[in-house]
Structure 1
Amino acid sequence: MKPATAAQKLGVYLPATPREFQEGLVSREELDELQHNPPQWLVDLRRNGPHPRSVVAARLRVSNSGLARGGITEPLTTAQIAALIAEPPPWLMRERETYAEVRREQRRLQEQRDETD
């Protein structure tokens, strides 16, 4: 698979990975090995970042769109995410509320569908 796909499956930001990873193809066996026995670079990248948008959004409990509305367009490190969590700006509070409301509505609709089945 392409390095971008492998990085996405590993939950890491591709430009922060080693050059060998970025330039080569990753077999399914290699991906499984990376997931089950991660090398130090992968452990460090997952711990410290920079993190891709999906990871940043999940850690901040907002949507990817919420990040964009908040002006977050670049990958963030774990320290930057922690700083936002420690002192959440107004946009983050708003986006968390919006995201929570969307999730509640999705659960309500799923329960409604489950009842009709």
Structure 2
Amino acid sequence: MSPDKNPQTMKPLTAANKLGIYLPATPEEFRNSTVTRAQLEALRTDPPQWLIDLHANGPFPRDVVARKLGISNSGLARAGVSDSLTAEEITALLADPPTWLVRERENLVSVRQEADRVKEKEETRRAASNRPAKNLFGEK
């Protein structure tokens, strides 16, 4: 297989999303250039120091912050939390959780429980509909 003559590129925001990092915290050279799939793979397999530091200390993008706090992205929005937090800020929130964080964690647990209940109910319904119908006339 020959190498591509025109490699597929992506915008820095797309590459940052794929790497799970907050774009404004990246070096200017990363923010101002397109990234090829080969470059993205190289960043994943042999990350430079700035990428290692971002993964360890942040600031983290909204979805990573929500996951680390154990709440939804919507929960962050309801709480008015900024788009990014550092590892230190997340640790401080987890060490002494404010009432909004406790409420959002409980909310996420209840939403997941309800989703599991609905899924189980749907599976039971599907299993029941796959059974052969009973013969009302007693015939075999």
Q: Would you call these one fold, judging by a TM-score over 0.5? A: yes
Matched, 1:35 2:35: no
- For 2:77 and 2:56, locate their aligned partners in 1 and report how far apart those are by CA, in whole Å: 23
- For 1:27 and 1:83, locate their aligned partners in 2 and report how far apart those are by CA, in whole Å: 37
Matched, 1:91 2:95: no
Alignment of 1:1-117 (within 5 A): 1-115=10-124, 116=126
Q: CA RMSD in A?
A: 1.3
Give the aligned length: 117
Structure 1: which 5+ residue stretches go unaligned? Answer: none
Structure 2: which 5+ residue stretches go unaligned? Answer: 1-9, 128-140
Which amino acid letter does the alignment assign opposite residue 68 of structure 1? A
Shift of 1:73: 2.0
- Give the match's secondary structure for 1:50: coil
Bigger Rg, structure 1 or 2: 2
Shift of 1:112: 3.4
Give 1 or 2: higher helix fraction.
1
Whose relative contact order is higher, 1 or 2, with alpha carbons under 8 Å and at least 6 apart? 1
TM-score (norm 1): 0.93
- For 2:54 and 2:45, locate their aligned partners in 1 and report how far apart those are by CA, in whole Å: 15
